[in-house]
Amino acid sequence: MNLLNTRVKSRSLLGSVLVAAMLSVSAFSNATVLRITVENNSPENGLSFTPVYAAFHSAAFDIFDAGSEASAGVEAVAELGAPGLLRDERVAVDPNSVGGVIFPDGGMRPLFPQESGSRMFDISDPMSNMFFSFISMILPSNDTFFGTDDAIQLFDAAGNYLGDQVFEITGANLYDAGTEGLDVTAAPFVDGSTATDSPVDTNPNIRAAESLAAFGGSLLANGSILDGNLIDFLSNTNLSIATIRVEQVSTPSIFALLSIALAGFFVRRKA
């Protein structure tokens, strides 16, 4: 009798564990790993750009809106390529969001012409992180950048991945942050400049980028000389600046998730 009761209790416990485990698995069954790859398409002696800041988030977060003033976070990226303040702004409004910086394969520095870099992002809760945004400063410039005025949807409301995507950044996708006037001597990445200087911009709103022709012939921090003929994105709005690729790397299998959930339950039971 005792043995029978023990078996019944064990089966009942196992059934409860399986139900709980399946409920746990269902919460993570859409989790996925994404690889974001960034390529600098500029030819040699063309434009560089700072490591790209990427974020996966809900509709609560918006990096910027053209026609409005830049936030302190966007200003820091557009003027110095520094994403720390923007990260803080993201987390403040969307604590469950995911973000990070994509460096070139060569190390923690800007992406020079013809270079690329990639990074993996673990999106464990796609329903809370449906959207993808990015931003990067153009080098050399005072406050020219490219980024997502409108966030890109990668997952549907049920957390299903909508498929790999490729984004081409051209001259038509460049913005002026409106936070600093054009002054070659105050622009990062120019040899001998004082990047902490901040000349006044008479138009404080984010808008389409203005000509960077004044930087032509400048000696850059990477030792190259910027070719003014390669940066005329106003006459050639199709001038290719960058390519950003979003690719799904993997999704956890239902069996692996179930095994993890079951293991967790039994470990807790033994404890």
The pLDDT value recorded for residue 2 is: 54
Does residue 216 share a domain with residue 196? yes
Do 182 and 136 fall into the same domain?
yes
The predicted model gives 106-112 an average pLDDT of 95
Measure the CA–CA gap between 172 and 4, rounded to whole angstroms. 75
Residues 16, 58: one domain? no
| Residue span of the structural domain in which 145 resides | 32-251
Same-domain pairing of 99 and 21:
no
Q: Residues 229, 114: one domain?
A: yes
| Per-residue confidence (pLDDT) for residue 77, from 0 to 100 | 98
CA atoms within 13 A on the CB side of 188: 20
Whether 107 and 240 share a structural domain: yes
Pair 38, 13 in one domain: no
Between β-strands 144-147 and 131-139, what pairing exists: parallel, antiparallel or unpaired? antiparallel
User: 106 pLDDT band (50/70/90 cuts)?
Assistant: confident
Residues contacting 3, CB < 8 A, separation 6+: none
Q: Where is pLDDT greater, at 199 or 259? A: 199
- pLDDT band, very low/low/confident/very high, at 269 (cuts 50, 70, 90): very low
* Residue that wins the pLDDT comparison between 137 and 16: 137
Whether the Cβ atoms of residue 200 and residue 181 lie closer than 8 Å to each other = yes
Mean pLDDT, rounded, of the chain: 88
Q: Residue 9: in which H helix or E strand, if any? A: helix 2-28
Residue 18 has pLDDT above 50, yes or no: no
**pLDDT range class, residue 267, cuts 50, 70, 90:** very low
Q: What is the pLDDT of residue 36?
A: 98
Shared domain for 49 and 10, answered yes or no, is no
* CATH code of residue 183: 2.60.40.2130
Q: Are residues 118 and 145 in the same domain?
A: yes
Model confidence, pTM: 0.83
What is the pLDDT confidence band of residue 265, given thresholds at 50, 70 and 90?
very low
pLDDT digits (tens, 9 = 90+) for 172-211: 999 999 999 999 999 999 999 999 999 999 999 999 999 9
**Number of folded domains that form the chain:** 2
Ramachandran angles phi, psi of 192, nearest 5°: 85, 0
Question: What type of residue is 64?
Answer: F
